[in-house]
Amino acid sequence: MKTAMVMAAGLGKRMRPLTDTMPKPMISIAGKTLLDRGLDALAQAGVEKAVVNVHYLPRQIIDHVGQRSRPHIVVSDESGLLLDSAGGIVKALPELGAEPFFILNADTFWIDRDGQDLEQLALAWDGTRIDILLMLARPDDATGHSGSTDFLLDAEGRLARARGAPEGLIYAGAAIVHPRIFEGAAAEPHSLNIYFDRAIAAGRLFGMSMRGHWITVGTPDAVAAAEAAIARHGGS
């Protein structure tokens, strides 16, 4: 996977007052911004170009990514209209190309164990039977998640909605998708969940349980918990 879409355009309302003056991806966790944590992981996985969408206080992100050399950054400007998860990707498709690409949420990261999780996700991709491949986290190996589980993973790797089932897994905010799923879609506000459900119905939504410790930062008090998890699990 040589390209990636980094979802960085959200308003970050739950992170106020931290996000009163900065976009959420610019919040620093243990000395590194959330955005840089994601971009570093993509660079390590061999991604050459990352499209980063912006909406709220966009200049801060634009100036920040302009200082990076890897991966090459292309900014997708949604200042005029926030396009939600799928609409933002559709707008960026000309830059993402015709091959499968990573999607990464800018407010989650993880501490790798036993190999690099994004590389493992790429190795699990099989475009003949998969349209969307999600990276999944175990609830007992996650920090900062306050919701229920998202997906059930069967023996073949196919996914179904968990609807909060205790044996379910959490969507870890990283995925690989084939751009064919967006054929005919408009660059207007709509959610990726539409495409998840279509792939489930077609038997083409798959998942991989990650090996690392997953961390999400949704509220200001989650910053301390994230930094404690980094110290506890040997991250940096």
What is the tens place of the pLDDT at every residue in 57-81? Answer: 999 999 999 999 899 999 999 999 9
Domain membership flag for residue 134: yes
Q: What is the pLDDT of residues 115-171, one digit of tens each?
A: 799 999 999 999 999 999 999 999 999 998 888 999 999 999 999 999 889 999 999
The token duo for 173 is 């905010």
CA distance 220 to 16: 7
Q: Per the omega criterion (within 30 degrees of 0), is the bond before 166 cis?
A: no
pLDDT value for 107: 86
Number of domains in the chain: 1
pLDDT value for 74: 97
Q: What is the pLDDT of residues 20-58, one digit of tens each?
A: 999 999 999 999 999 999 999 999 999 999 999 999 999
Domain membership flag for residue 164: yes
pLDDT value for 89: 98
Residue type, 121: L
Residue 13's closest CA among 220, 186, 204? 220
Domain membership flag for residue 211: yes
CA distance 175 to 3: 12
Q: Please report which confidence band the pLDDT of residue 84 belongs to, taking 50, 70 and 90 as the band edges.
A: very high
CATH number at residue 61: 3.90.550.10
CA distance 101 to 8: 16
Can you tell me the mean pLDDT for 101-128?
93
Q: What is the pLDDT of residues 186-221, one digit of tens each?
A: 999 999 999 999 999 999 999 999 999 999 998 898
pLDDT value for 133: 98
Residue 234: is its pLDDT beyond 80? no
Q: What mean pLDDT, rounded, does the chain reach?
A: 94
DSSP state string for 149-173: --EEE-TTSBEEE-TT-TT-BEEEE
pLDDT value for 114: 78
Whole domain around residue 7: which residue ranges?
A: 3-231
Domain membership flag for residue 236: no
pTM tops 0.85, yes or no: yes
Domain membership flag for residue 33: yes
Q: Which residue has the higher pLDDT, 94 or 145?
A: 94
Domain membership flag for residue 24: yes
**β-pair partners for 142:** 214
CA distance 71 to 77: 18
Domain membership flag for residue 142: yes
